Structure formats: structure tokens, C-alpha cells
Chains A and B, each alone.
Chain A
Amino acid sequence: MLELTQQIVNGLSLGAIYALIALGYTMVYGIIKLINFAHGDIMMVGAFVGYFSLTMLGTNILIAMLTAMAACAILGVLIEKIAYRPLRNSTRIAALITAIGVSLFLEYITIFILGPSQKVFPDSAFPIKAYDIAGLSILNKDLFVFVSAVVLMLILQYIIKWTKTGKAMRAVSLDQEAAVLMGISVDKTISITFAIGSALAAAAGVMVGVYYNTVNPLMGIIPGLKAFVAAVLGGIGIIPGAMVGGFVMGLLETMVSGYGNSLYRDAVAFGVLILILLIKPSGIFGKDTGEKV
């Protein structure tokens, strides 16, 4: 029982990271119906910005996270403006292929500039401590990841539910043409969505750096795919769904590596994806909508 609780504790912090990345996927999908393949790579860029902020500017971890979030918010807006906006009226496949292109571009431009080797996150930025609570060993990095993720999610909920921007985002995702008629600037709203989603991914990137202790140019691929699975699991386009999906994926993954074969860890994520797609493609929170001709 104790071991199970321990696994759950470990899974929660990983799940929080997935949930943060999944939120960006889901927000972008909700608003322009595009699977932003480059999202995981934005997370990678965020992790590197955090890394350089820690090592070269010597900031503390919170400042590093904020810097990364700001930098990636700008990056996200730029990507949308340059690559996705010209394709808004073309086929979904064209947009998806472009997203794959953006993803490859971010990965290999980073390799080109920084080299393919991985970099070790400085220990001094975040000295590891373990707390013993009721027989459970909780690392301070797990706590940090979990708490900051939850804080960010609460802020996001506030923005979406209570601010004018949030209302505009919900309106555009519901019906773009009607939103335009109501005087909402669709372009601006989409830009803001990309900015918020990318900032969350950047925060997740810094957390991954703290969590796994290393960053490398291809680090975004697998967490990106898993977060995507989380978003689909919760129901893509639905914000609470992404959070729940993220935590489920994190827990599932820790359970599989804790009790089963860790080599199958990645396959499990994809297996889950296929099961959802076959059984209920709209996800846990999704509603089935009929096909319109």
C-alpha cells in the first residue's frame, strides 16, 4: 500500500508536467483545429531558455521559468503568424504537415546552434532535498513541479473563465464567424492563445529540466507526444480534460515503469491513444458530434 502511494506521489509530478503541455495542445486545437506538432519543441526551447538563464545569467529557478515563459510566448506567436496563419483556410492535412515542418525546424536549428549533446541542468539552481512524510519520501523537486503546475493551471482557469480575453477565446473556439460579428478580433485571440499555450509549455520545459536534470534538442518529442495523448484522452479542445488526461498519463506511466517493464513505457502511452481513438475518439469529457455534410 505504501509503495502504491509512493508511486502515486511520483506520478503526480510527472502528470502535472504532461497536463501543462497538454493544455497548450488542447487550447490550440480548440481554437484553430490544428494539432500543433511543434508544441513539444516549444517546450524544449523553453527548457533551454531556462537553462541559459540559470547558467549564464545566474538567476534563480522562478526567474528562469518566467524568462522561459516570456520567450516562448513570443516564439509561439511568431510561429503562428509565419507558418500557420497563411494556411488557416487550406486543408487540415496541409496545416498538419506544416506543423511537422515547424517541429523539425525547431529541433534541428537548436542542434545546429547548440550541438546535439545534452546539457546538465545546474544542481545549484535546485538543491535536492527529501522530506519524510508518513513514511513517504517526497522530493522537493516533485513538490516544486506539482505546486507550480497547479498554480499555473489556476491562473489559466481564471484567465479563461473570468477575463474578457478568456471570453473571447471561448467565443472564437465555439464559432469563429459569429465571434467576428460580435466584434472580437480573431487574429488577436488566436495569437493570445498561442502565447498562453507556449508559455505553459515553456514552464513545463523548465520543470522537465528540474525533474530529469538534463536538457537536449530532441527532448520535446516524446513528452510532446505523450502530452498529446493526454489531451486526446481528456477530450481534445476541452481544458479540464487536458488536466485530467495529463495526470492519468503521468500516473499510468509511473505505474508501468514501477510494476512492469520500463522498456514498454513509451508503448503504453501509444497503446492508450489507440484504445481511446478506437473506443471513444472524443475523449473522456468529449461529446460525440455527428458528421455534418
Chain B
Amino acid sequence: MQKNKLIKFSTEVIILAVLFSLVQYLITTGLLNQYYQINLTSMCINIILAVSLSLINGFTGQLSLGHAGFMAVGAYASVIVTNMWDYPFIAGLLAACAAAGLAGFIIGVPTLRLKGDYLAIATLAFGEIIRVTLQNIDYVNGPAGILGIAKLTTWPWLFGATVLTILVAVNLINSSYGRAIISIREDEIASELMGINTTKYKVLAFVIGAMFAGLAGAMYAHYFYIIKPETFNFLKSFDILVMVVLGGLGSTTGAIIAAISITALTAALQSFPAIRMILYALILIIVMIYRPQGLMGNKELSLKTFGRIWSGRK
């Protein structure tokens, strides 16, 4: 058993290291041009967002529609720290996580008492309040936003952040905390009867999700030069929701696959934004009607699956 784990761990590390060096090599040699680099960045940011939202919506079963709000908090916090106060990038990232996590805590504690559609609406409202508030703060230039942010998001940072997010999400789900969180999704009343402090776990998942949304916001801000409150409106939250729903409510790998494919789809349909949104809408409706569990359901894609396919067993 111990040996198997070691093999699995080293295979994963090797795959990640190869992936990292390959892309790094392509970037340094200039084989990966600007266009692909931008899409790669969006892809990583979307993976972070989708995985963190899937923790809240998919695993805890609490429909949150305010994820873009946390992304905004992270983006602004990191830019204030790096751009205005001249601290290094890492301090900005930490500030982003801390600020978004705090916002998640402040919003999560009162609203997570609500259920289902009420919670969805309350989180949507909070997301919009964050946006409107940012529009009214002169320190961050109000609706005009902040321009000329240093481009600090590089491939190593992006890769590190994405891997960290996935690692934390997967390990959390596989721990006793994760089992408690999933039991809340399956049946909140029953899990409460089993002695699980449902509020604590719901808030925990919500805060961790918010922290990583903040991290994604910081990555976004330090790549695209400019942030303004309008970028983080609830349509952005819906974008992330589409990824989680498509991937499967309760599947981290599903969220990753969906984030990658949606980003690719967005890039392909760049010149036709209306068509892209119509497609999103149809994806949401059709997936909900014909496959409400999403592409992956609550299954995970792992090395084992590939191993099974490889050896031809079912």
C-alpha cells in the first residue's frame, strides 16, 4: 500500500514537472506566441475559479452566485499592495487571499443560514454590493478602475497557484472535513443529526472557495494591466457557474476539464461574443435537462482511469 502511494505520488510529480518545463521551454523559446500565452493564462485563472467554486457549489451543495465578487476583492487587494504600496508580488497574493477569505467569512456567516434559491439570491446580491461599493471608492478610482498594473503574473506563478488550488481542494475533499462537507450536500438535516456542525463546514468551504477566487483575481489583475469593477459583475459569476455545472457538481477534474474547454471555446468565438453567450445559455439549459449531473457527475478522472483504459479492463 505504502509503496503504491509512493509510486502514484512520484508519477504525479513527474507529470507536473514535465508539463511545467514543457510550457516554460515553449515560452522561453518563443514557440508559444502572445495569443496562446493569454489563453493559457485565462485557462489557469478559470481552472482556479472553477475548482474553488466547485468546492462551494458542487461539494457543499450551496449555490453561490457571487464568486466574481470575491475575485474582485482579491484583485483590488493585491493591486493596492503591489501597485500602490510597492510590496512584492507574493505579499499581494497573500493579501488577496486574506482579503477575499475575510469577505467570504463576513458574507458566509449570515447568508449560509439560508437555503437553496434564497442563498443563491443573497450571494448574488452580495456580489453586486461588492461591485457597487468598489465603484464608489475614490481610492481605487471608482468606475474607471486601476490602470497600468505591473505584469507580474508569470508562468511559474500561474502554474504554482493552479496546482496549489487543486491540491488544497482535492486534499480537503478526501479528508474527514471533506466527508463532512459532502454529507451536508447529500442531506443537511441527516448530517446535522449525525453530529456534524453544518454551519462550521459550510462556512469553511465558503471561505476557502473565496480565498482561491481572490487568488485568481490577483493573477488576473497582474496579467491584464487593468481592473475595473464592471469586469466582476454577476455575468462573470455565471461564467464560472457554467464551468462548474458543465463539469459536474461534485467533480474537481470535471471542473478542470470544463474550465479548459470553455476557455478554448471562448477563445475560438472571440469575434462573436453574442454567439458565445447563446452557446453558454444553451449548454446550461441542455445539460440541466438531459444530464443534470454534468459531464463527469461526481466521478473523478484519475491516473487509475487511464491505467484501466490502458490495460483494457473495465
Contact = CB atoms under 8 A, between A and B. Distances in A.
Contacts of A87: 288-289, 292
Nearest to B130: A267
Interface stretch (A69-77, A104-112, A153-161): A104-112
Interface residues of A, number: 44
Given A112-B274, A266-B128, A101 B281 contact: yes
B193 to A, nearest CB: 9
Contacts of A273: 121-122, 125
A286 B238 CA distance: 30
Nearest to B123: A274
Given A92-B116, A100-B241, A273-B122, A267 B133 contact: yes
B126 A274 contact: yes
A277 B114 contact: yes
B25 interface: no
A108 B279 CA distance: 9
B: interface residue count bin:
35 or more
B118 A277 contact: yes
B63 A111 contact: no
A86 interface: yes
Contact of A98 (B61, B114, B288): B288
A274 B125 contact: yes
A63 interface: no
A253 to B, nearest CB: 14
Contacts of B133: 267
A98 B117 CA distance: 13
Interface string B146-173: 0000000000000000000000000000
A96 B118 contact: no
A108 B126 CA distance: 25
Nearest to B193: A293
Contacts of A147: none
B94 interface: no
A96 B278 contact: no
A111 B277 CA distance: 10
Nearest to B283: A101
Interface in B263-282: 274-275, 277-278, 280-282
A91 to B, nearest CB: 7
A108 B283 CA distance: 14
A186 B129 CA distance: 39
A281 interface: yes
Contacts of A130: none
A281 B114 contact: yes
A131 interface: no
A232 B117 CA distance: 12
Given A264-B132, A267-B129, A100 B284 contact: yes
Interface in B237-294: 238, 241, 245, 249, 274-275, 277-278, 280-285, 288-289, 292
B231 interface: no
A117 interface: no
Contact of A101 (B63, B132, B285): B285
A266 B230 CA distance: 14
Nearest to B132: A267
B132 A263 contact: yes
Contacts of B136: 261, 263-264
A35 B135 contact: no
Nearest to B290: A86
A261 B132 CA distance: 12
B121 A232 contact: yes
Nearest to A228: B121
A96 B189 contact: no
A264 to B, nearest CB: 7
Nearest to B61: A93
Contact of B282 (A105, A270, A271): A105
A64 B280 CA distance: 32
A270 B288 contact: no
A83 interface: yes
- Going nearest first, the 5 A-B pairs with the smallest beta carbon separation are A101-B284, A105-B281, A270-B125, A108-B277, A104-B281
5 contacts: A92-B116, A97-B245, A98-B288, A108-B278, A281-B118
Interface of A: 34-35, 83, 86-87, 90-98, 100-105, 107-109, 111-112, 116, 225, 228-229, 232, 261, 263-264, 266-267, 270-271, 273-274, 277-278, 281, 291, 293
Given A97-B245, A105-B278, 6 more contacts: A103-B281, A104-B238, A104-B284, A108-B278, A225-B128, A277-B114
